[in-house]
Structure 1
Amino acid sequence: MKLIFKTASAFLLLAWSSIALNAQTTSTDESWESVKKQAIAEHKLIFVDLYFTGCAPCAQMDKEVFPNPKVASLLETNFITFKSDILKEEIGKKLSMKYGVTGFPTFIFMNADGRVIDIAGGFQNADQFTVLLENAKDLAKKGILKKYSPTINEKEYPDFYVQAYMAGKRNVPFDVIDTYLKSKDTTEEVSFVIITGLRVGKQYDDPFLFGSKKLAQDYGRSSVTGHVFTILQRRKKEFEKTNDLKGFKELLAGAKELYTPEEWTKYEGILLKDFGVEKVVTKNPYTLQK
């Protein structure tokens, strides 16, 4: 029995090594279309891993999680895997643009038609990632999908947003974004990814924050909670000006339900730490900076 298990484990490691090796070749629009065709032909789901070379959590996933026998088995049996370096490959940039991705790694789970089942980000240990895979299978079986359209069409987006992702020109003046958004429904897909992808604030913060539960249902909890955290960081500065810790805690209480207990313990601690104390801002090397 031990010999069988070791042989099976070795096979799964080899299977994932093969997937990882294939991912080192350049991913293109054509290879992305081939993945969708393969998923349809084999009646499988699609797993997209958006990463970049030099991203420590991305490398940690490759080293510790994807080779895990249970993870490798679930991926091999149920998914067609597509990995793309978002700094080197055009299709990776397009997928990041499509879903307003700002942190890496980002994982997108889709059905064979390219409809999004769920989006998740950051390092996930083997147990956490197994849950994501199992949940994606279950949601797909029930036909519970997100609101994103299944195709990438650059013409749907304003030029400033396309340039932000495709050319790295992310310092878009607020008035340019505002001119576009104020004539749109900000709960629709293109407006949503512009707001989250470019971290748009000011008058767009409160509608996003108070509509976050519905937005999470439509576009994925991970996509929404990341921006909500950014909003709460901005709002913290406002409450600090009047030293209104009670008011800030009340605002946090309204956002708590979006997060898992483990996430909330972490993020609430960050948000409440040194309230009112001047802080030095540091950049996260694993996110796109506006």
Structure 2
Amino acid sequence: MKIKKLIMVILVFSALGGYGQQVSKGIKFFKGSWAEALAKSKAENKMIFMDCSIRSCIPCREMEANVFPQEKVGGFYNENYINVAMGMDEGEGKELSSYYGVGSFPAMLYFKPGGFLVAHEQGKRDAEELLADGNKNLQLKDTITLEERFEKGGYQDPIFLQRYFKEVMENEPLGAEQHAFDKIIKFKGADVLLEKKYWEALGIASPGSAAALYFVKNHLKFAKIYGENAVNAKIMAIYFNNRFLIWYGDDHLNNKPSYENFKKRMEERGVPDLSFMKMAVDFHQRCRDFKYDEAFAIADPFMKSAKWWQYYRMALHADWLTAGRPLERKKVMVWANKALQLAKTAQERKESQELIDDLRNPFTNLILTPVVYGSNI
């Protein structure tokens, strides 16, 4: 009887086993490191299919048991792709998950030979859907991606850079902009960030990135070129960028300890106007806890004698935090109007007016509960 039970356990484990479980007729997953898979892909001139999963993902296990073992699926993927099964919650999968912005599972990544990402598919697939994805993405094998153009000299072209960072912001996973700046620094050195074409994109850098750390450390050098208002506004844009406030990375804000750690990191990094920035963190925390009276009580003493960038950035951030709350938005409108009054340059006036117009629309920026990457919901 015990032997029968043991056999049953083994059979069940085989069906719902670890990452990339397969049978001989199904998808054959490469056994080796990611670097080795890239080398094999380049040597054989074959694209890479990466199955991304985590241990708690039930749909991932279902695909492993019911889709990957199918002969027609295996036949197609084995012929056309180097197949990699990557557990994104262990080993080098953790780093790859962060690098490619994989936050929901199952996920399927498709790469050109050698490693440039061309497609990021999400959600459970049946056999026909997976085959359709594979056929569709196979057509992208000879596509010249933005990443390729960037690395082949595009980082020196201001027009291309504007398009590149716009694409990164709109369509790429969180964290892609950090890698873009890392590459710029690698190719040209950190001082290149002082140039206008890179300065204009700095606001999307993540707080812990090399670019942001250099910017904060050298903010006085930037201020001599672009002005104190613009520099401080950009630093706050980095630390209170809504894309990163819902990120799973080092600088996320989703519980009380993380708020305190966030303020501590700002202090360690030498962020200017630290007391104001810490207040902004406390304001954010109270709003996210729906304690709006407390939030504005914390902010009011600072806002009585604020500068343009402080009125503008606080109003811009509060626009998101108070969406759907008319009473609080009236208070935010006061800050936005003060920003317009204090604006000294055409750009400051333009940005302040756009913010006022946005606040007048009750249907903009409807508040969303942040989804922390890494959850399986």
Q: Which has the larger radius of gyration?
A: 2
Relative contact order (alpha carbons < 8 A, sep ≥ 6): 1 or 2 greater?
1
TM-score by length of 1: 0.49
TM-score by length of 2: 0.39
